[in-house]
Structure 1
Amino acid sequence: MRKSPFFAPAAAVAAALAVAGAAQAQPEAAQSAVNVTLGAELQSRVDKLGDREVGEQVARLQTEVEQALSQRYPGASAQLVLTDLKPNRPTMQQMRDTPGLDPIRSVSIGGAAVEGTIVTADGESRPVKFSYFSPSIRDVYGYGVWHDADRAFDRLGAGIERGRY
């Protein structure tokens, strides 16, 4: 009797769902809690940058810090404030507001600044103050809108993993 090829993908999907279910069944205490808020100055510029895109960057920062904390300080939590955020290329909102911007040729110095505290599982509080912006327009080589902000979040995560914070 021949096996039908139709059932092979179904078995693979079932196995993937079982693995995903097991990953979600891990205790909540092992996962890190990261809360990211916007600084007052950045909040005043959200309408100009675009609410959705700023929200995506907050989520990106939160994910990066959660991963770094789980590596270095399991069970730690962080209260972070995104104080500055600048895109390398125009956001969708900026292009709607200023039709003359070119999404390809309009380039600027981008990056991000973050402040806050990390509280380890044993209660130790560690201050965080980090910023990265391209040093000059010649150093902007990425093609993404948030290339330097992503680089800032990656460097912050690497600093946390190394124990700098």
Structure 2
Amino acid sequence: MRKLAFFAPLGAVVALAASPALAEPPTINVTLGNELQAKVDELGDRDVSEQATRLVGVVQSTLINRGALDGATIDLVLTDLKPNRPTFQQLVDRPGLDGTRSVSIGGATIEGTITTAEGQTLPVRYDWYSSNIADVRGFGTWQDADRAYRRLAVNLADGRYVTR
């Protein structure tokens, strides 16, 4: 079984760390959980890779903007991922799907740990999914997953690491 890992862009970390006025930004690592790895062929390598990279970007920018968890290492595991609309791979595999009108409940589950700059290790657990099809807003394939990433990032910045 393949293992994929995604990390914060190194260039951005080096540029931020080089400035003496800024604290060391958090390092964010994202890996895929076993259940999600089993779904990669169904969802598509490209889409899953893009979502892992998106999770890194959303969490990193939120924490940097809010000055939270400076110097921490955040290891996240993307354990589940559900699109609101068919992915490119799903459209290829099932030509009868309508990429415009096919809508479903989407979201994401994320777990992991935070190792603070002081060396304390804290658990992270968050999930968010639309509660019903009427709640699905927007036209993006990963609209609800992106909402989960943004809510997780705000929770981390506010010190709420385990929810639900």
TM-score (norm 1): 0.82
Amino acid at match of 1:46: V
Corresponding position: 1:78 with 2:78: no
The count of aligned residue pairs is 145
Corresponding position: 1:41 with 2:35: yes
Give the distance between the partners of 2:126 and 2:16, measured in 1 at CA.
34
Give the distance between the partners of 1:27 and 1:160, measured in 2 at CA.
24
1:64 maps to what in 2? 58
Give the distance between the partners of 1:25 and 1:44, measured in 2 at CA.
36
Normalized per residue, the structure richer in helix is: 1
Q: Which whole-Å deviations, capped at 9, do the CAs of 1:40-60 have from their partners, x for residues lacking one?
A: 111011011010110000001
The percent of aligned pairs where both chains have the same amino acid is 53
In structure 1, the gaps of 5 or more residues are 1-19
Give the distance between the partners of 2:147 and 2:16, measured in 1 at CA.
32
User: Residue 73 and residue 103 in structure 1: after superposition, are their counterparts in 2 closer, same or farther (change >3 A)?
Assistant: same
- Who wins on radius of gyration, i.e. which is larger? 1
Of 124, 133, 136, the match for 1:137: 133
Large movers: runs of 4+ above 6 Å:
none
RMSD value, Cα = 2.0
Give the distance between the partners of 2:142 and 2:95, measured in 1 at CA.
20
In structure 2, the gaps of 5 or more residues are 1-10
Please state how far the C-alpha of 1:68 moved relative to its aligned partner: 3.5
Alignment of 1:1-165 (within 5 A): 24=15, 26-27=17-18, 30-70=24-64, 71-165=67-161
